[in-house]
Amino acid sequence: MTSDDLACVPEVEIDPDGTFKYVLIKVSTKKPAGGSSNEKIVVRGFRWGAYHADIFEDTEEKVRKMGLTAKCLGGGRIHHNAAAKQLNVYGYSQGFGKADHEQTVQLLKTSYPDYEITWSNSGY
């Protein structure tokens, strides 16, 4: 697969409102013999995910069908208040550990440039 395939993977996919679990995922092209892989970090967060693993497994299946690989870098929660244009990133995943919330916020800013986006290490 090529970096063009990687470009087809959106950096951010989260629910439009509410509080939900999220995961930070590294998506990569498969490393060719003697070559190097390309990669990008993506955020996925949905209310339907009872567990962080549910969200990761859904994303992993989708990128695998594209010939890409996925590795979960950690998780947490996002509170999305669309009416107030606010996102708050916090908490951790019991299964994957805490995601790098600063990195998550930087990715969210690309998709939500007119939002107030905050983060903290407190809460579950």
Please tell me what DSSP assigns to residue 98.
Answer: B
* Dihedral in degrees, nearest 10, Cα atoms 62, 7, 12, 50: 10
Contact 39, 27 (CB under 8 A): yes
DSSP 8-state assignment for residue 57: H
Q: Looking at 52, 79, 80, 101, which residue is catalytic? A: 52
**CA 87 – CA 20 distance, rounded (Å):** 11
Clarify whether 52 is annotated catalytic.
yes
Active site residues: 52
